[in-house]
Chains A and B, each alone.
Chain A
Amino acid sequence: KQEVTQIPAALSVPEGENLVLNCSFTDSAIYNLQWFRQDPGKGLTSLLLIQSSQREQTSGRLNASLDKSSGRSTLYIAASQPGDSATYLCAVRGSSGDKLTFGTGTRLAVRP
């Protein structure tokens, strides 16, 4: 059974810092990996999708990497802003390609 863990559980940084969020998964046979953002009381917004054959994806100030063999992904946020404050969730889709398994989330606060 796939298990997904995110470290740290919570993070508080001053505005402008570059930061890294970590995601690890136990079964490396994955179809793809997706990073989401969730604002309090809201649904999920997809940030980046990495297919199993890819090593990284970039969107604006966000960069996500994938190392399947070690069961790890990182989300890099450059020049953080208060508007980046949210919970960030990593989710892995198994090799059968059917359902996502979610991580525990990292709650990020960016201080002005």
Chain B
Amino acid sequence: SAVISQKPSRDICQRGTSLTIQCQVDSQVTMMFWYRQQPGQSLTLIATANQGSEATYESGFVIDKFPISRPNLTFSTLTVSNMSPEDSSIYLCSAWDRGETQYFGPGTRLLVL
């Protein structure tokens, strides 16, 4: 199994600013993902974080708004840029090795005022 930690666990930010969320996995994993969960909703995939190359974004999400880094097989960051109140959500990091269970971090609760 993989244990995933995220920092910060929560934050309150002003509109127009940016926040970087860090995700650390306790073992090397093939794939890492970033999800968003808006209030009362299910999870939506933002992007797949690729080690050593640009992330793969889902429809509706762009690199300028959600830049992602993955410098190695255990760490990734997601930045939420130029925030607006509509970005208030829980952001979840996830990790998966092919064929196995996919694991999730505890999430980062973001409130944008």
Contacts and interface: CB of A to CB of B under 8 A. Distances in A.
Contact of B42 (A42, A43, A45, A89): A89
A104 interface: yes
A46 B109 contact: no
Interface string A3-15: 0000000000000
Contact of A46 (B33, B42, B103, B107): B103
Contacts of A99: 33, 45, 48
B102 A34 contact: yes
B42 A103 contact: yes
B101 A89 contact: no
Secondary structure of the A contact surface, majority rule? strand
B67 interface: no
B102 A43 contact: no
24 contacts: A34-B101, A36-B104, A41-B107, A42-B106, A43-B4, A43-B92, A43-B104, A46-B101, A46-B102, A46-B103, A46-B104, A49-B100, A49-B101, A89-B42, A93-B102, A97-B98, A98-B31, A98-B48, A100-B45, A100-B102, A102-B43, A102-B44, A104-B42, A105-B42
Interface of A: 34, 36, 41-46, 49, 51, 89, 91, 93, 97-100, 102-105
